[in-house]
Structure 1
């Protein structure tokens, strides 16, 4: 496919043609599947993964249990917020770089999605999915690894679809990761008191823990332990 690239020694364009060239030999149904997953499907899966992580943390009362619930939930809430911040940061970047879509400057690109008229660098889809993946990793490593894997797949799909250069995707990965990690300490510090307040509130506390713990009742969560009230009653009976 490099003969179509007319790119000289540009590895970015060569890799674009190599990956996008796979679409020319793939069945039509496969291209349509990649189109859906790359445009909408993987974003939906990422949202479902965040919800699943929330459900898991809620049932366990935090990744480490006990008082860790509020901080773990704060880290999880930061994941979608960071994705939104990263997209906003990308707005001036796109306007400054003004890189056209690859099919504008290069012939022979098999474009699976029409109507893309905005600039190419950096990829919003790659930015969002990697920000969610890294944000999930901060909250829960297992879910985070799955999210990062989905983000890598999203990046491949964007190049396969002919709407981004590989460097657009790498730039999106770097932007999403940077926003999450650089702002995570401040964001978690600000969000943790909010999560603690919600945890102690009636009704909304179940968003943080599936079984909220009342004051002075922590001992009842330990197998074989007795609450102070039960211990006192048994001592009097004796």
Structure 2
């Protein structure tokens, strides 16, 4: 039995009682009332712009943690930054069987009166890949550095809003993506960081590659061989690096 039959009644009309569909129309209705230039901007932002922004935030975070705090802070933060794209990739892989099991059509398949800003979407809707990817990156950056992480989380929420605004996802697709990205990043983080921290520490001790972890202007990075203790970390500005 597919997920459509057990959890997603998608045949509700705009005036129906399904809050998921009602919120879809409320948010997507903004696109109908917006000028064409705004819709084109939202299309670019929702498809590519926010993802590019998250990459830039991650690079800025990496540049910052190399130059501030202690050597141990830098090693821990860079380990978390390496984990961030890995977690995002794992979350996307996990979403493949979820989509195949649920088999939820895109909202415009059952609701022809939506304002669809991106055409050609033929895959299933639940859960949203964009939302999963954005939230996984946001959660990973929050582990590495609180302030950059908060900025990334705001971008992730904006990504989810854009997907509904564009008419290509239901709100619950977005919420499911947020949950999946967060769960994969945080639940697997202790094991991932236990493996990555010694590797990053070894890189920090290398003459040729130490700049990847610690700016040479700060005096280089000391070796850190102990795995990062997530529970014992002091919740400071640098996330797990604190």
Distance in structure 2 (CA, Å) of the matches to 1:34 and 1:5:
25
Runs of 4+ with >4 A deviation = none
2:200 counterpart SS class? helix
Alignment correspondent of 2:4: none
Tell me the equivalent position of 1:173.
Answer: 178
What's the secondary structure of 2:190's corresponding residue? helix
2:61 paired residue number: 53
Are 1:29 and 2:37 counterparts?
A: yes
Offset at residue 71 of structure 1 (A): 1.5
TM-score (norm 2): 0.84
Residues 71 and 214 of structure 2 are in contact (CA less than 8 Å); yes or no, is this contact kept in structure 1? no
Judged with a 3 Å threshold, the aligned counterparts in structure 2 of structure 1 residues 89 and 7 are, in CA distance, closer, same or farther, namely farther
Question: Against the structure 1 CA distance between its residues 197 and 31, is the aligned structure 2 distance closer, same or farther, given a 3 Å change threshold?
Answer: same
Whether the aligned pair in 2 keeps the contact of 1:7 and 1:13 (CA below 8 Å) is no
Root mean square deviation, CA, Å = 1.4
Larger radius of gyration: 1
The aligned residue for residue 213 of structure 1 is 220
- Tell me, yes or no, if the aligned pair for 1:20 and 1:110 is still in contact at 8 Å: yes
Contact 1:54 1:76 in 2 (8 A): yes
Q: Secondary structure at the match of 1:21?
A: helix
Tell me how far apart the structure 2 counterparts of residues 108 and 53 of structure 1 sit (CA, whole Å).
Answer: 42
Aligned residues: 209
Give the equivalent residue in structure 2 for 1:187: 192
Alignment of 1:1-238 (within 5 A): 5-6=13-14, 8-60=16-68, 64-211=69-216, 212-213=219-220
Distance 1:37 1:203 in 2: 38
What does the per-residue CA deviation read over 1:147-196, in whole Å, with 9 as the maximum and x for residues that have no partner? 00000000000000000000000000000000010000010110001101
After superposition, the C-alpha distances for 1:116-170 in whole angstroms (9 at most, x for unaligned) are: 0000000000000000001000000000000000000000000000000000000
Structure having the higher helix fraction is 1
Aligned to 1:229: none
Q: Quick check: 1:86–1:131 contact (8 Å CA) kept in 2? A: yes
Gaps in structure 1 of 5+ consecutive residues: 216-238
